[in-house]
Amino acid sequence: MTSTDTPVVVSATGSVPSVRPGAFPRLLNLARQLATFGTIGAVCFVIDLGVYNLLRATVMPDGPIAAKIVSALVSTAIAWIGNRFITFRSERRTGGRATLREGLLFAATNLVGLGIAAACLYVSHYLLGFTSTLADNVAGNGVGLVLGTAFRFAAYKALVFRSTDARRTKELAA
């Protein structure tokens, strides 16, 4: 056996396990990405809530929609920076044009995620007839938030933070 060969572990029954070499590091990386994605999302939720309430209490007391738009823009920008430099740091693109493309894809992905949450609320409220405040919160901020977040993570990983350099490096390492 040379130093570059991968040792094969044989079980007591004589069979070789079906886990591919390198699967554990990939799962570990995915778990790390999920944890940092969730942490950044939680921080940005608090920022969104804080900025919204600060604006409503000070400069926009009569403008709930404008305050929500501003707070969503601030928290989305911070989420992009956090995900770009922490969660998906090894997959992110470099260069001005690629960064602009990444930012636009990030914004579009967030709009689709928002649409998923709004669609859940629409179905619950208007099609199923669940019109209480609790039902609206469960549909929009419960089911919609979970589905929208799952979509965003998958889209960030598959579309937004997909550097050709990172893919080439991963292929060479495999």
- Indicate if the pLDDT at residue 15 is higher than 80: no
Mean local confidence (pLDDT), 61-86: 89
- Tell me, yes or no, if the pTM score tops 0.85: no
- Res. 7: pLDDT tops 80: no
Q: Are 166 and 90 in contact (CB under 8 A)?
A: yes
The per-residue pLDDT for 155 is 93
Q: Which residue has the tokens 């430099």?
A: 85
For Cα atoms 145, 149, 152, give the angle at the middle one, nearest 5 degrees. Answer: 140
At residue 23, the pLDDT reads 81
In this predicted structure, what is the pLDDT of residue 41? Answer: 92
User: Nearest-CA neighbor of 93 among 170, 159, 33?
Assistant: 159
Measure the CA–CA gap between 71 and 44, rounded to whole angstroms: 10
Task: Report residue 45 as tokens.
Answer: 């939720």
pLDDT at 144 over 60: yes
**Stretch 1-13: mean pLDDT:** 51
Residue 34 has a pLDDT of 93
* Alpha-carbon gap, residue 11 to 8, rounded angstroms: 10
Give, for 37, the enclosing helix (H) or strand (E).
Answer: helix 23-57
Q: Specify the pLDDT at position 171.
A: 54
Average pLDDT over residues 109-118: 89
Is residue 90 very low, low, confident or very high in pLDDT (cuts 50, 70, 90)? confident
**In whole angstroms, what is the distance from residue 121 CA to residue 154 CA?**
22
